[in-house]
């Protein structure tokens, strides 16, 4: 057992901590806390993080002499609670490990009193309480924990349980110095928690941050725990799991249920195509637009609204309920937050993606065997022409494709704050300086360029695209108020405008094989002046074989365009072949990354030997 010299402590120490924590919860909000926890977080990145998660509670560990004393302290702080204290497991076990105690001998309880924010928003103070009567041998433990506050943390509730959003949030936290620090899934409250430690220079006394998301996200949790060197220390025995445990009392998924038999696992994998088609048909029938999140609608009424067979539609709705797209109630079905992303008019709508992945891309992926055997795109084999020519000849399909590309725009949210763009904007503020110029090569409907120009009013933009896409981009950028600062050029990669300060290549290179990528990059290098920067947005294949969206997209690109995803080193070699140098890369949401390149420095000319006349090295004539 660990021995610690006891200092003079009284219950008032806990009362002071409770009062300060309650005041903290009431006074602070999401937008003010995040920059304090993550120094440097600002602008579009701060807005993106604040849009997807909200400050939910602050947690602390206290040591009252008895529970009535704790209740009186909570009441004195104006903290109201209805539910009785419930046992703790995870924090109890961490406490036992730190101090060498048997966990069974620590009666640690959890209370969750409510504390309203300044705008009357409901928050909580999460209180972990271990009773330590006067003269208890646990007094040194209490002294140590009060001094070091190991269990104090701030929790943020993730509003969307979309795994892509969660990956983006984790990437954004990592970008600003947060490190994985454990986590787990609580089956009793159906919530996944991801813990982080904040950077050492954070302007907050709290050193730990929690993201809490509804639902089970085993892949994300496994990746998160894999980044946490000590995560194996947080394994708990199944008999310690109790239904009353709070969401911050989490367990790794393998600890609360046994793994399914291999045959069952394989069967789930084999029927994955059914999920794709169910989501695509849901979008095609406009079911999300016909459903209401607050009022249940029967299958019969929905069938009449969307023009479907009632019995079959009800079977589809039951399947969608398994996917958490809808919820089933005695009086019908309601739309979930996940399902709302399939509405045509939803912010960040992913309906177009569902139609693409359940339509032409679904058909081409069925030709994966052709691609695997020949190395050639299944899309060309199926449709008799390449992906780009086929879409260009069908305006409706081309529009759907452009919309699907825009549906992945959350990956762009941190990009306007990239140091390269910030530096280009700063140069324009110098007296007498000309506006900096950003060229978006094959920039689609202008989603990325619009974000950059909106974030940096001193910059001008040029968008290079096909004629019909340029027209759509012009309308979009005009509507966004950036049109007066943007020029447009129709053409191919050979038409990249010269003399700009920053060049953007977003999700372009993965469309092509290596030979075509070198050609595109050479066009960029010829257009770039010596001071210019090139930013490339792509998904990167991991070097260690870990889980990555890029691994799936690699097969997708090979089937559809003949392109592929690549590792950072592979891009570095392609850049070098084009006379460019990869300077580094950093993560973006949705499993993406931004690579930074510049023109490679020319080698210094060799000096002639000392006994050789200088003119001997000059070219003849």
The residues that are catalytic are: 510
* Conformation bin of residue 548: beta by default, left when phi > 0, alpha when psi is -120 to 50: beta
- Interatomic CA distance for residues 26 and 28, integer angstroms: 6
Cβ–Cβ < 8 Å for 302, 333:
yes
Longest distance between any two alpha carbons in the chain, whole Å = 100
Cβ–Cβ < 8 Å for 323, 162:
no
CB count in 10 Å sphere of residue 375: 10
Edge-to-edge strand ranges of the sheet holding 460-465:
486-490, 460-465, 437-441, 502-506, 533-539, 592-599, 580-587
Report CA-CA distances (Å) from 135 to 6, 8, 99, 315, 350.
Answer: 11, 12, 18, 65, 61
Tokens of 597: 């390149």
Q: Which residues pair with 593 in a beta bridge?
A: 538, 587
30: Cβ contacts below 8 Å, ≥ 6 apart: 50, 53, 54, 55, 156
Strands 53-62 and 86-87: unpaired
429: Cβ contacts below 8 Å, ≥ 6 apart: 458
Report CA-CA distances (Å) from 349 to 275, 334, 466.
Answer: 18, 18, 24
């Amino acid at each position: 057992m660990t021995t610690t010299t006891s200092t003079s402590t009284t219950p008032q120490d806990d009362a002071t901590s409770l009062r300060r924590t309650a005041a903290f919860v009431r006074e602070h909000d999401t937008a003010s806390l995040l920059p304090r926890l993550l120094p440097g977080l600002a602008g579009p990145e701060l807005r993106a993080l604040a849009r997807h998660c909200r400050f939910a509670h602050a947690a602390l560990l206290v040591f009252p002499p008895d529970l009535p004393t704790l209740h009186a302290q909570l009441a004195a702080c104006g903290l109201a609670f209805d539910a009785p204290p419930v046992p703790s497991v995870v924090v109890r076990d961490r406490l036992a490990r730190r101090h060498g105690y048997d966990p069974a001998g620590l009666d640690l309880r959890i209370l969750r009193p409510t504390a309203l924010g300044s705008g009357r928003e409901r928050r909580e103070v999460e209180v972990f309480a271990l009773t330590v009567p006067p003269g208890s041998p646990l007094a040194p433990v209490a002294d140590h924990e009060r001094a070091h506050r190991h269990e104090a943390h701030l929790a943020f509730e993730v509003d969307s349980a979309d795994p892509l959003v969660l990956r983006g949030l984790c990437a954004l936290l990592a970008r600003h110095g947060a490190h994985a620090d454990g986590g787990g899934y609580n089956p009793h409250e159906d919530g996944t928690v991801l813990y982080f430690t904040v950077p050492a220079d954070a302007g907050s006394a709290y050193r730990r941050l929690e993201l809490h998301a509804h639902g089970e996200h085993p892949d994300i949790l496994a990746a998160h725990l894999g980044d946490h060197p000590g995560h194996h220390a947080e394994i708990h025995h199944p008999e310690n799991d109790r239904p009353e445990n709070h969401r911050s009392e989490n367990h790794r998924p393998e600890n609360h249920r046994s793994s399914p038999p291999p045959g069952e696992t394989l069967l789930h994998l084999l029927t994955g195509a059914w999920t794709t088609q169910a989501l695509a048909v849901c979008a095609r029938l406009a079911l999300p637009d016909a459903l209401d999140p607050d009022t249940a609608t029967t299958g019969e009424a929905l069938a009449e609204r969307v023009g479907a067979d009632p019995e079959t539609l009800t079977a589809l709705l039951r399947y969608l309920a398994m996917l958490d797209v809808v919820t089933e109630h005695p009086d019908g079905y309601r739309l979930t937050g996940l399902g709302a992303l399939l509405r045509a008019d939803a912010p960040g709508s992913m309906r177009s993606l569902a139609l693409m992945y359940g339509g032409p891309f679904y058909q081409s992926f069925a030709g994966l065997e052709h691609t695997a055997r020949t190395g050639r795109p299944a899309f060309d084999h199926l449709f008799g022409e390449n992906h780009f020519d086929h879409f260009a000849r069908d305006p409706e399909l081309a529009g759907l494709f452009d919309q699907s590309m825009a549906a992945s725009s959350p990956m762009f949210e941190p990009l306007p704050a990239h140091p390269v763009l910030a530096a280009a904007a700063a140069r324009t503020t110098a007296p007498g300086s000309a506006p900096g110029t950003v060229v978006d090569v094959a920039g689609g409907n202008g989603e990325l360029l619009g974000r950059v120009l909106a974030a940096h009013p001193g910059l001008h933009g040029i968008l290079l695209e096909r004629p019909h896409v340029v027209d759509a981009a012009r309308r979009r950028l005009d509507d966004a108020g950036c049109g007066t600062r943007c020029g447009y050029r129709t053409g191919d990669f050979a038409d990249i405008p010269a003399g700009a300060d920053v060049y953007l290549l977003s999700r372009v290179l993965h469309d092509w094989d290596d030979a075509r990528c070198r050609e595109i990059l050479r066009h960029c290098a010829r257009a770039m002046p010596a001071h210019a920067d090139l930013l490339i947005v792509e998904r990167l294949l991991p070097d260690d074989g870990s889980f990555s969206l890029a691994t799936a997209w690699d097969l997708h690109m090979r089937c559809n365009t003949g392109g592929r995803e690549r590792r950072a080193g592979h891009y570095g070699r392609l850049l070098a072949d084009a006379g460019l140098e990869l300077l580094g890369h950093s993560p973006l949401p949705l499993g993406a990354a931004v690579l930074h390149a510049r023109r490679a420095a020319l080698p210094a000319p060799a000096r002639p030997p000392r006994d050789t006349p200088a003119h001997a090295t000059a070219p003849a004539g």
